[in-house]
Structure 1
Amino acid sequence: MPYEWLPPQDDTQRLHLWPYRSLPRRGMVWFIGATAGLLLVPLSAVIGSPVLWGLLPFLLLALLSIWWALERSYRDAEIVEDLTLTADQVTLVRHGPRGKRQDWQANTHWVQVERHETGGPVKHYLTLRGGPREVELGAFLTEDERLALEWDLRQRLRAMR
């Protein structure tokens, strides 16, 4: 699961969330290598002819475009959410893509976990309410993971109160 409860320190509990990556970096290297190898197949028929120089720039551009798109996808998915629970305060820090940081704090006693069946950007949308504004939690998780997180978070908040 792309979230984990870190070992408790004193009376503090920490939840660490991150998006799931279906293609790890090592897989990306293999994919780019296999794509380059497959692009060489049509070039082998024109080695030694001027057609090679006509095709080569377009094939290299295609390969660089695939690499750029995958790198952009990795940068956009650099999201990490850290939720800290103490007896008197809940703190959510979201580190978004390209270094964007958002903080939220509320009194533990007033925090409520809410699941929105519809109306959110995803099904079973989770939010935390109880501070100056309502914030989303784990929008990048799957439906089942959000349901498990909701149950787990409700139990831990109940235990903290």
Structure 2
Amino acid sequence: MPYEWNPRPTDHHTNWRLSLWPYRSLLRKDFVIFMGGTASLILIPLMAVLGTGAMWYVLPFFVLMFSGLWWAINVSYSRGEVLEELSVDNTTAHLVRNNPDGSKQTWQANRYWVTVQFHPKGGPVENYITLRGGDREVELGAFLDVSERAALYDDLKRAFR
């Protein structure tokens, strides 16, 4: 699961922290392996035309394809660098969202007035989770999978009980 409790909320632990992040199917070390394999596969057909005039017609397309793939994966990584941290102590619930562009969004409310709301349909995503407290309602974990948001909702309901 791309979220972690620290410590897990129980009757003994009233102070806890929840960290959420998007799932990464391709880790950075696997990215290097993937790009190396792609470069190797590109070189196989390029070896057939090595030293001929045809190589200069084919080479720009291979370079364009390789650099486009590199750029697309890096953009995907940078857009996925989101971290949401919900920390709850004896009196306050505090949510900080670190956006991919480096900006931060914060929300704070009295922990006893916080309600967890679940919107199976009608939200921006299916199984949309929001926290309501004070005069604002904020989303939580919109980047998670549908089943992960449902499991998170159950955990949050128990934690705020």
TM-score by length of 2: 0.92
Secondary structure of the structure 1 residue equivalent to 2:49: coil
Amino acid at match of 1:15: L
Amino acid at match of 2:116: V
The answer for the alignment partner of 2:154 in structure 1 is: 151
Q: How far does the alpha carbon of each residue in 1:34-81 deviate from its partner, in whole angstroms, 9 at most, with x for none? A: 111111122111111011122112211110110011011000000000
Amino acid at match of 1:104: W
Distance 2:146 2:75 in 1: 25
The answer for the alignment partner of 1:123 in structure 2 is: 126
The answer for the alignment partner of 2:40 in structure 1 is: 37
Distance 1:114 1:20 in 2: 23
Distance 2:48 2:145 in 1: 46
The answer for the alignment partner of 2:114 in structure 1 is: 111
2:86 corresponds to which of 78, 83, 86: 83
Secondary structure of the structure 2 residue equivalent to 1:20: coil
Distance 2:124 2:56 in 1: 47
The answer for the alignment partner of 1:101 in structure 2 is: 104
User: Runs (4+) of structure 1 moved beyond 6 Å?
Assistant: none
Matches within 5 A, 1:12-27: 12-27=15-30
RMSD: 1.4
Amino acid at match of 1:29: V
Secondary structure of the structure 1 residue equivalent to 2:18: strand
The answer for the alignment partner of 2:6 in structure 1 is: 6
Amino acid at match of 1:151: D
Distance 1:144 1:87 in 2: 30
Distance 1:24 1:90 in 2: 32
1:49 corresponds to which of 37, 47, 52: 52
